[in-house]
Structure 1
Amino acid sequence: MIFRRFFSLTVLLLLTVGAPAGAGQGNLRLDALFQALRATSDESYAESVEEHIWDFWLEHPDAEMIRVMRTGVFSLNDDDYGSALAAFDRVVAMDPTYAEGWNKRANAHYMLGDYAAAVGDLRHALMLEPRHFGALTGLGLVYLALNQPEPALRAFDAALALNPHLVHVRRQVDTIRSQRLGFLL
């Protein structure tokens, strides 16, 4: 079973080697990974495919961009949201077409409680990469924080349509739907 998963992922990656590189979104290499993600029922394999998708989203041809992104991510992980926001502000200024920069900046805005800015950045990320299930999940979380369960549900459902293996998102959807049923009864 492990060999089969390894072989399948290796074949997927080899099929994508000749595709043009970019800053993640719109990258032809992602198409095969998204197809594999939706087609598999093997959770370990799905997790590996998802990690590869995130790797592509984080790709950027500019080494300075990667350095600034890393700084922002480390700041987010250290709960230093102001520094993270400053780093991600720089990222989106350096390359406004880099979807992951907008997604990460939305994370910092969310953590700082600036939900309107987070929604704006997430929508921008989704305009650049409509398959960004991370941005859709983030959008759902922002709408939950704003006590808007219907738009949250739509965002979570869209994320699950792209990546049906998002267990925490599925739990959120189930909770929202059961609460909605409770209000109807």
Structure 2
Amino acid sequence: MAWISGGCDPRRPLAVLRLPAVALALALLAAPPVLADQRDPALAPLFERLKRADAVEGPGIEDQIWAIWFRYPDRVVASLLDEGTVLMSRRRWAEALDRFDQIVARAPDFAEGWNKRATVRFLLDDLEGSVADIQRTLLLEPRHFGALAGLGQVYLRLERPAAALRAFQAALDLNPAMAGVRRQVEELRAWLDGSDI
């Protein structure tokens, strides 16, 4: 799940869209065949590097992971994901939700489809739906630090700070470079230490 305050920028996948069209087309033609999404074997070494990365190297590795998560070999699904992400950036939540609904129906094995729908459901205040989609995301990709950070945000909205802290900490265990999530963990720990929870 992509959260503005959770350290995962929902616009990050749109970085590809800023490339000139010709450069993007050439890059796609030159790229090796896409293995697909969360099953790509390139992820395991990236996650190992991410755990050891410093504040300078970490965001670049995170970007590489997001780029892999954002890929899907079916062109219809890839197009729907691009459309939905653009619609999200324009705050057209209902239209974005429609695109992500189509993705999860067409490609139920694609973690990022569920993750994006979880984000839109959160923005539409469908918290139960968001949690259900996050759970599906994590079933498909247990290392999805963005979904875990998003789960923390949902739990904050549900006024469940201890559960939010656990979700944020799980995200940080996977991706220590998430500065926004680290701040939330510190604030929640301080608050919980002073409360009766």
Q: Pick the TM interval, shorter chain.
A: 0.7 to 0.9
CA distance, structure 2, for counterparts of residue 72 and residue 146 of structure 1: 26
Name whichever structure is richer in helix by fraction. 1
Q: Show the counterpart of 1:102.
A: 114
CA distance, structure 1, for counterparts of residue 57 and residue 175 of structure 2: 13
Matched, 1:142 2:154: yes
1:85 to 67, 89, 97: 97
Q: Show the counterpart of 1:59.
A: 71
Identity %: 42
1:29 to 42, 45, 67: 42
RMSD, aligned α-carbons: 1.5
Q: Show the counterpart of 2:169.
A: 157
Runs of 4+ in 1 over 6 A off after TM superposition: none
Structure 1: runs of 5+ lacking an equivalent: 1-16
* Cα pair 2:134 2:147 within 8 Å, conserved: yes
Q: Show the counterpart of 2:21.
A: none
Q: Show the counterpart of 1:182.
A: 194
> TM-score by structure 1 length?
0.86
* Corresponding residue pairs, total: 166
Structure 2: runs of 5+ lacking an equivalent: 1-30
CA distance, structure 2, for counterparts of residue 115 and residue 56 of structure 1: 27
Q: Which has the higher contact order (CA 8 A, sep 6+)?
A: 2
